[in-house]
Chain A
Amino acid sequence: MSSSKRSRIRHHRMVVFSLLSLLVLTLVLPLIPHAVAELGESTGRVANPGTELWRDVRQRDRSIVGATQVKGVDSGVLINVHGEDWRQFRMQQLIPYGAALMGIVLSVILLFYLVRGPLRMQGGASGKKIQRFNVFERTTHWFTVGIFWLLALTGLVLLYGRFVLIPLLGPDGFGLTASACKEAHNLFGPMFLVAILMLFVTFVKDNFYVRGDFTWLLKGGGLLGGGHVSAGRFNAGEKIWFWIAVSGGMVLCVTGLILDFAVLGQGREVMALSHVLHGIVALVVITVSFGHIYLGTAGVEGTLSSMTTGNVDEAWAKSHHDRWYAEVKAAAADADETEPGGVASPAGEG
């Protein structure tokens, strides 16, 4: 009785144990290959280094540089990640925004001229002339003008010719034009450095900030009405233009030389960056020069002769540069008084 009961319990235990063992084995056995694989991984097998390598190569934040037998600047760069940035900047930003900037400023100037007309001298021309720019100053100015517009026009042809001139000249005709423009731009470019340095040396002494410049700016130079504003030899607007031309010109020269002399070992990254700066600064300086040209010709009556013959009407000087006019008159009076010889002008003149 008790022995048969005991054997029954043992039988039950065996069944339970077998079932449990089966269960455990079913769960564990399939894991063995995985365990082996895991161990294998840690000893001999490593993940394909290629996957990470290609992820690095394809990543767009830096260029991977490798070794190569081909000698040359950047030849070890497998993928130049900055090329696409430069392309987007040139095609999506520089070209459309540059055109918009120049177009808007030109339209505003034209509208201003039609509405306001040229600024007149107070009391009309007097007929008496005084010298504003000597020969050296005028030579410096026109030398800079010549080089600047040669470079500006050839540069604009390279920037916009594909859209504007190819339809007019055809691909071959424009190829020839653009080739001439590129050669002219590259050959005359370095001369712009000479022009900018000359411009700086010639005009810098009268272009520092003095009292009254800020007031002139606040009153908008009298451009928007409200009569003439007191100014020295150069007013604040002319001073700002001087510093834009000189600093912009220097940026254009430095970046231009980097682009022009491609044999100095600079890579594509430096050249693309130079091109970005060159393009932005060039378009800004060209745009600001529109304002300068307008005010020097049609915008202000009697101004142009200061850069052609060098003389301006006294009424012009009194209206636009009253303090300079006073200085010139005072200096002339001093010269008369201190003149030792007998050829002094008769007293009372001037």
Chain B
Amino acid sequence: MARMKFLCDAERCIECNACVTACKNENDVPWGVNRRRVVTINDGSPGERSMSVACMHCSDAPCAAVCPVDCFYFTDDGVVLHDKDICIGCGYCFYACPFGAPQFPQDGVFGQRGKMDKCTFCAGGPEADNSPEERTRYGSNRLAEGKLPLCAEMCATRSLLAGDGDTVSDIFRERVTWRGSAGMGWGWGVAYGKSGLRKGKGVDGRATGGD
């Protein structure tokens, strides 16, 4: 059985936020919630890096561990989902998650929190696959249609990878092999296989010959 994983290649991410927009649109995410976000570190300085973050579908998920009503469950693909029928909107998963994935739609009076919402790896929820109920509550279920999450499918630079962990690892390992390591393996020229961009500074890019 596949083990679904996300991987964001920070050498490639150009902070275009297409993944954020794609996710919001595909899943009709509630107001005030972004299931995915792009964080840029050292913004505007040399060595700036961007990374797209969402639920990482942990094996030992802190959200599932602290949930007082035990509403989280793992699919056979290792996707971490939660049942909004059981969720009470207490906020504990939001405190425990390292990635800020679970969030609360602020739709009640006095900003009262509703049931939490998080990235589903485009795998819907506990309702029947692609039923209208599932669609309204959790968004789309692309996995049931044999498709991967839209954020990764949309990614123009193939920075964000999603899918079976082994396949994702193979793709990334191949990239890293071609790029080299330490002082060599970074920069645009390296990442995109065009040697021209950084040649003047003495870093040779090498074509990856594929993804």
Report the bound CA distance from A259 to B89 in whole Å. 12
From B17, B20, B47, B67, name the one whose CB has the most chain A CB atoms within 10 angstroms: B47
Report if B207 contacts A (CB, 8 A). no
Report if A220 contacts B (CB, 8 A). no
Beta-carbon contacts of B104-136 to A below 8 Å, as 1s and 0s?
101000111100000000000000000000000
Report the bound CA distance from A171 to B69 in whole Å. 7
Q: Is the CB of B85 within 8 A of A172?
A: yes
Q: Is the CB of B10 within 8 A of A50?
A: yes
Report if B71 contacts A (CB, 8 A). yes
Report, as a range, how many residues of chain B touch the other chain: 35 or more
Report if B155 contacts A (CB, 8 A). no
Report if B76 contacts A (CB, 8 A). no
Partner of B70, one of A44, A91, A162: A162
Given A50-B49, A87-B62, A158:B98 Cβ within 8 A? no
Report the bound CA distance from A162 to B86 in whole Å. 12
From B34, B41, B69, B90, name the one whose CB has the most chain A CB atoms within 10 angstroms: B69
Q: Is the CB of B49 within 8 A of A69?
A: no
Q: Is the CB of B70 within 8 A of A166?
A: yes
User: Chain A interface secondary structure, helix, strand, loop or mixed?
Assistant: helix
CB distance from A161 to the nearest CB of B (A): 6
* Chain B residues whose CB sits within 8 angstroms of the CB of A171 once the complex forms: 69-71, 83, 86
Report the bound CA distance from A268 to B68 in whole Å. 18
Beta-carbon contacts of B22-55 to A below 8 Å, as 1s and 0s?
0000000000101001111111001101010100
Beta-carbon contacts of A144-182 to B below 8 Å, as 1s and 0s?
000000000000001101100010000110110011001
Beta-carbon contacts of A65-87 to B below 8 Å, as 1s and 0s?
01111101011111111011011
CB distance from B83 to the nearest CB of A (A): 8
Partner of B98, one of A40, A81, A159: A81
* Chain B residues whose CB sits within 8 angstroms of the CB of A197 once the complex forms: none
Q: Is the CB of B98 within 8 A of A175?
A: no
* Chain B residues whose CB sits within 8 angstroms of the CB of A64 once the complex forms: 41
Report if A262 contacts B (CB, 8 A). yes
Report if B74 contacts A (CB, 8 A). no
Given A51-B182, A70-B37, A162-B67, A78:B111 Cβ within 8 A? no
Partner of A83, one of B20, B34, B98, B182: B98
* Chain A residues whose CB sits within 8 angstroms of the CB of B37 once the complex forms: 68-70, 75
What is the size, in residues, of chain A's interface with B at 8 Å between Cβ atoms?
56
Report the bound CA distance from A49 to B182 in whole Å. 9
Given A49-B46, A50-B10, A68:B38 Cβ within 8 A? yes
CB distance from B179 to the nearest CB of A (A): 10
Report if A47 contacts B (CB, 8 A). yes
Closest A residue to B200 by beta carbon equals A44
Q: Is the CB of B41 within 8 A of A78?
A: yes
* Chain A residues whose CB sits within 8 angstroms of the CB of B164 once the complex forms: none
Report if B183 contacts A (CB, 8 A). yes
Report if B100 contacts A (CB, 8 A). yes
* Chain B residues whose CB sits within 8 angstroms of the CB of A166 once the complex forms: 69-70
* Chain B residues whose CB sits within 8 angstroms of the CB of A174 once the complex forms: 69, 86
* Chain B residues whose CB sits within 8 angstroms of the CB of A44 once the complex forms: 200-203
Q: Is the CB of B40 within 8 A of A87?
A: no
* Top 5 closest pairs, chain A to chain B, by CB: A49-B47, A263-B111, A175-B86, A70-B37, A67-B43
A-B contacts, 30 listed (Cβ < 8 Å)? A43-B202, A47-B182, A49-B46, A66-B40, A66-B41, A66-B42, A69-B20, A74-B100, A75-B100, A78-B99, A79-B98, A80-B100, A83-B95, A84-B62, A86-B95, A90-B66, A91-B66, A158-B90, A171-B70, A171-B86, A175-B83, A178-B69, A182-B89, A182-B90, A186-B112, A259-B91, A262-B111, A263-B111, A268-B95, A275-B95
Q: Which A residues fall within an 8 A CB radius of B?
A: 40-41, 43-51, 53-54, 57, 64, 66-70, 72, 74-81, 83-84, 86-87, 90-91, 158-159, 161-162, 166, 171-172, 174-175, 178-179, 182, 186, 259, 261-263, 268, 271-272, 275
